[in-house]
Amino acid sequence: MPHLTTPWTIYTTLIVLVGLHLTINYIGVRGLVLRTLNGQRTWIAWSAYMHTQPGRAPMPVEVAHLERIFECPGAFRDSKSSVLLGQCTMGSLFSQILSGPIPPQLLELFKDEGYLLWFNRRCLPQSESHHIEGFPRLHICLKDGYSTEDQLKAWILAAELCRVISA
């Protein structure tokens, strides 16, 4: 500390130490191999299982290698090109994403499920074209008494919808 007497040496030392701290943290996080699923790891594992290497579930270390540290929550990316296929929000409230009553066809479609799946109004067609505007943005609304299996099933359905629509 006695050598840090000028603003130039103080700020240079600060920038070097902060940069070193961030680099070491980044390397440490990249080294983590988590065995629990979040949205991104679920998508990576599902994509590898169904499309990259059909019928073979990837090991946690393989999933960790493909996981992005700085990723938008709920983003689905193509495993080969990294193109954004869509985005999904888990645990949305229907009252916040839909003005008016829930369509009866939707209730009938998801009557045996612990969730409802709905498109964000920003990506719904504004005309009679029936084409999604931009990339799909989905919401998963969980029903009372939902299970972890319902969450997983809803997430995979949302991921597959985004993949099919973006194809």
**pLDDT value, residue 128:** 57
Enumerate residues 6+ apart whose C-beta is below 8 A from 2.
none
Task: Read off the pTM.
Answer: 0.78
Q: What residues does each domain of the chain span?
A: 68-166
Band (141; pLDDT cuts 50, 70, 90): very high
What is d(CA 17, CA 53) in angstroms, rounded to the nearest whole number?
A: 43
Kindly tell me if the per-residue pLDDT of 130 is higher than 60: no
Q: Which two tokens stand for residue 23?
A: 């680099």
Alpha carbon distances (Å) from 51 to 123, 160, 167: 26, 11, 13
**pLDDT value, residue 121:** 67
Kindly tell me if the per-residue pLDDT of 73 is higher than 60: yes
Q: Which two tokens stand for residue 102?
A: 């829930």
- Encode pLDDT of 77-107 as tens digits: 887 888 888 899 999 888 888 877 888 898 8
- Encode pLDDT of 15-71 as tens digits: 999 999 999 999 999 898 999 989 999 999 988 888 776 678 889 999 999 898 888
- Which neighbouring-strand residues pair with 141? 116
Q: What DSSP letter does each residue of 29-80 carry, written as one string?
A: HHT----S--HHHHHHHHHIIIIISTT-PPPHHHHHHH--SS--TTEEE-TT
